[in-house]
Amino acid sequence: MGSSEMKGVKLRAKRASGSSAAERSAYFARREAAKVLRCVLQGDARRRATASIKSLVYSPSVRNKKATFALVCQTLKFLPVLKNVLAATSLLSTKWKKQAELMYITAYDVLFGLKVGMIGSIEKFLISHKTSLQSALSNICANSQAKNVDRLVLDNRPHVVPKPRYVRVNTLKIDIDFARRELERIAIVKEDDIVPDILVLPGRSDLHRHHMVLDGSIFLQGKASTMVAAALNPKPGWKVLDACAAPGNKTAHLAALLKGTGEIIACEINKKRLECLKDTISRSGAHNVKILNRDFLDINARDSPFSQGSCYSFRPFLLWLWNLCRKTRLFAPIVLPRCSYHR
Ligand SMILES: C[S@@+](CC[C@H](N)C(=O)[O-])C[C@H]1O[C@@H](n2cnc3c(N)ncnc32)[C@H](O)[C@@H]1O
């Protein structure tokens, strides 16, 4: 809403005779909520959200942030139902179509919101049709065999396909066929088409207490996380530095790919997370991981154990990157800089 439009809105609200402060505040909150809802729905339609609901609501132009936020969230929750109700009553005519978001917000308030007096033309229009809105809602409930509106809202939730559950088989302990047979007892299991040693299970499979997770035979790791060590593709005998290691999923993956050869230096700055890293490595059964509690940015590539007299085997670019990391401290989240070399 532009500033001149907003001025007009304020003027109309002031003119509304006998309106209380609460009514005026609710009137503005509905308009501010409609503006936010429009941004959210446009972002959804383009599959590219410009901002979160919170950041839209917390913009300085929104005055009644709490009420606006609540209205947007509630209207979004009820939106599929509200759309059906408005369609059944044919109230979203061309005249109001341009203000569809305000119609949704106001319809929510008329049907489910706080029972305070309402000012505004859209409000008056919808209140005058309140009985038909309510009977449309009852009919929709009856036709969907929903015993109440809450059930109807649940049934109308957009269908969200849960993300699959990815499992990395720790080949230091078991092989992929064994893991597959074990997991097929509880779910349908597929092999991943990109990353080796990864099994894919349905999204709702809860494996957190599974004995193979507890004993480190398998790791519950997101697919993106499993790609890092696979992309590095270390050859047996490599020495690899995992710069930011805890909780250690990629360190353990590296250890599996190195098949017990070579060495991994796992750096972790945070003492608490270091314990978690130690636990992961101990569960993984890897014996070639040296865990260091230190800031990897303070590491000098020429010092032992990082150099082992072979720092000149680092390619010049890596040495330059390494020094840049140390000087600028900009690269703390870098995982696995490839400071590995062939023996
Ligand atoms: C996103 S986690 C790493 C996840 C890990 N690579 C894995 O796959 O399980 C980032 C970790 O890096 C650590 N960290 C951040 N800056 C660091 C630094 N300069 N030196 C060492 N560790 C650092 C953090 O404490 C944190 O535990």
The 10s digit of each residue's pLDDT in 112-121 is 986 667 888 9
Strands 218-220 and 263-267: unpaired
Q: Which residues are annotated as a binding site for S-adenosyl-L-methionine?
A: 244-250, 268, 295
Helix, coil or strand: residue 240: strand
Tell me what the mean pLDDT of segment 250-256 comes to: 97
Rounded CA-CA distance 227/245 in Å is: 15
Residues 91 and 148 in one domain: yes
CB distance 250 to ligand 1 below 6 Å: yes
What domain range is 195 assigned to? 165-220
Contacts of 216 by beta carbon, 8 Å cutoff, 6+ apart: 170, 173, 252, 280, 282, 283, 284, 285
Which tokens in the block code for residue 284? 């993984």
48 pLDDT band (50/70/90 cuts)?
A: low
Give phi and psi for 316, each to the nearest 5: -55, -35
Say if residue 340's pLDDT is above 50: no
Rounded CA-CA distance 266/277 in Å is: 9
Instruction: Calculate what percentage of the chain has a pLDDT beyond 90.
Output: 56
The CATH number that applies at residue 198 is 3.30.70.1170
Instruction: Calculate what percentage of the chain has a pLDDT beyond 70.
Output: 81
Rounded CA-CA distance 244/309 in Å is: 24
Which tokens in the block code for residue 176? 């992929």
Amino acid identity, position 247: P
Say if residue 143's pLDDT is above 90: no
Domain stops at, among 112, 133, 155: 155
Q: Of the residues 268, 290, 298, 322, which should be mutated to test ligand 1's pocket, given the most ligand atoms within 8 Å of the CB?
A: 268
Residues 110 and 31 in one domain: yes
Per-residue model confidence (pLDDT) at position 331: 43
Contacts of 229 by beta carbon, 8 Å cutoff, 6+ apart: 250, 253, 254, 257, 336
Residues 40 and 106 in one domain: yes
| 29 falls within a domain | yes
CB distance 198 to ligand 1 below 6 Å: no
pLDDT tens-digit series, residues 12-43 = 555 555 678 888 888 999 999 999 999 988 87
205 pLDDT band (50/70/90 cuts)?
A: confident
Mean of the per-residue pLDDT values of the chain? 84
Helix, coil or strand: residue 267: strand
Residues 23 and 105 in one domain: yes
| 297 falls within a domain | yes
244 CA → ligand 1 middle, Å: 3
Tell me what the mean pLDDT of segment 210-233 comes to: 96
236 CA → ligand 1 middle, Å: 25
- Helix/strand/coil (H, E, C) string of 171-238? CCCCCHHHHHHHHCCCCCCEECCCCCCEEEECCCCCCCCCHHHHCCCEEECCHHHHHHHHHHCCCCCC
Residues 276 and 216 in one domain: no
- Transcribe 85-116 into DSSP letters: HHHHHT---HHHHTTHHHHHHHHHHHHHS---
CB distance 297 to ligand 1 below 6 Å: yes
89 CA → ligand 1 middle, Å: 57
Which tokens in the block code for residue 310? 């072979």
Say if residue 236's pLDDT is above 80: yes
Give pTM, 2 decimals: 0.57
CB distance 296 to ligand 1 below 6 Å: yes
Say if residue 3's pLDDT is above 60: no
- What distance, in Å, lies between the first and last C-alpha atoms of the chain? 66
CB distance 265 to ligand 1 below 6 Å: no
Rounded CA-CA distance 155/222 in Å is: 30
| 342 falls within a domain | no
Domain stops at, among 155, 178, 199: 155
Domain stops at, among 184, 205, 220: 220
- For the chain, the domain total comes to 3
